[in-house]
Amino acid sequence: MSWILLILSLPTENATVRMRAWRAIKALGAVSLRDGVYLLPAISDHAEKLEAIAQDVRDSGGTAHVLHANDPETEAFPPLFDRSEDYESLDSAMADLRAKLLPETAMEVMKETRKLRKSFTRLSAIDFFPGAARDRIDTALKQLESDANRVLSPDEPQPEPRTIRRLDRADYQGRLWATRRRPWVDRLASAWLIGRFIDPSARFLWLASPDDCPDEALGFDFDGATFTHVEEKVTFETLLASFDLDSPALLRLGKLVHYLDVGGHQPPEAAGVECVLIGLRETHSDDDQLLQAANQVFDSLLVTYGKEQ
């Protein structure tokens, strides 16, 4: 194992530089060997980032050196990067959230869980010698996310093991579409997709129970619905595949909806979008009004994604 040392002496009269350097060093996950001496393993872009900190210190009147070491007598260094206490703090915070997970608190628990996910992601990035704790906390977080989603959105459909058939949009015009009331991410996005790209004259029915779905309605996002979760796809992705909607912008939106509904890879914008949708759901008690408000969010995302291609 190779190592990188940052040795610096900060100007005492410049508190701004001292704080900036300290925050940058902490963000990298460096450990302090003694005052003014910091250690990182020589992986990733650590050398470049430590050199940037050193240059900032020099430009501000201090002294700084970045040294590389390849010393076989450094078995004592890895334990210095032990993140067990940080993982235990996350575990304790998850336990507190789980204890107050109720239908009336599910939104707040979800928001706080997303914050813990961000903390876990940052911690994982500086866990250079990971052990069982990282996997354990990741699994526990996924379970808490799933449980919060289940409380927030009861009767979530189970994935169906079947092949998705290609359908002709002309056969699905002016129809009544039905899904569970108080829609959340997948149902909101699916309803937006139906209205914008599949059936512009669509009418929507919000069901108290999937059992209330009329025979003439096209159900979506519940067990036994015409369009629901299939294999690894959420309902939004099933609709994309069913109607051959494969523009890069829509596919990217599908990845966002997938994460917010069932987890997986987290897009950078996910937390912000989820925060907005949570606010809309808490603001609008009428599901038609909620859909109209959410439509603007998805319209804006589609425009943004389209410009980034």
**Does 82-152 match 3-79 at the fold level?**
no
Query: For the ranges 49-58, 94-103, 106-115, 212-221, which has the lowest average pLDDT?
Result: 106-115
Per-residue pLDDT at 263 exceeds 80? no
Average pLDDT in the 213-232 region?
A: 95
Band of the pLDDT at 309, cuts 50, 70, 90? low
User: Residue 71: is its pLDDT beyond 80?
Assistant: no
The half-sphere exposure of 78 on its side-chain side, counting CA atoms within 13 A, is 9
pTM of the full structure: 0.68
Using DSSP, state whether 35 is helix, strand or coil: coil
Could you tell me the two tokens for 5? Answer: 């040392």
Least confident of 58-62, 172-176, 247-251: 58-62
Which residues in the chain belong to E strands, given as ranges? 3-9, 31-34, 37-41, 63-69, 176-180, 203-207, 218-219
Fold of 82-152: Methane Monooxygenase Hydroxylase; Chain G, domain 1 (1.20.58)
The dihedral built from the CA positions of residue 301, 254, 101 and 222, taken in this order, carries a sign that is positive
Mean pLDDT over 100-115 rounds to: 88
Of 180, 150, 164, nearest in space to 263 by CA: 150
Cβ proximity of 191 and 166 under 8 Å: no
Alpha-carbon distance of 141 to 113, in angstroms, equals 8
- What is the CATH number assigned to the segment(s) 3-79? 3.30.70.240
Residues 6+ apart with CB under 8 A from 170: none
- Give the per-residue pLDDT at 87: 97
Q: For residue 271, what pLDDT is reported?
A: 85
Mean pLDDT of 206-230: 95
Distance CA 95, CA 82 (A): 22
Name the more confident of 191 and 270: 191
Question: Is the Cβ–Cβ distance between 61 and 14 less than 8 Å?
Answer: yes
pLDDT band (50, 70, 90) for residue 72: low
> What are the residue boundaries of the structural domains of the chain, listed by start?
3-79, 82-152, 169-307
How does DSSP assign 96-125, residue by residue?
Answer: HHHHT--TTTHHHHHHHHHHHHHHHHHHHH
135-170: per-residue pLDDT in tens? 999 999 988 987 887 787 777 788 898 899 999 999
What is the tens place of the pLDDT at every residue in 74-92? 678 899 999 999 999 999 9
Beta bridge partners of 7: 37, 65
Q: What is the pLDDT of residue 157?
A: 86
User: What share of the chain in percent tops pLDDT 70?
Assistant: 98
The whole-number pLDDT of residue 14 equals: 83
Cα separation, 57 vs 279, in Å, equals 43
More confident: 282 or 172: 172
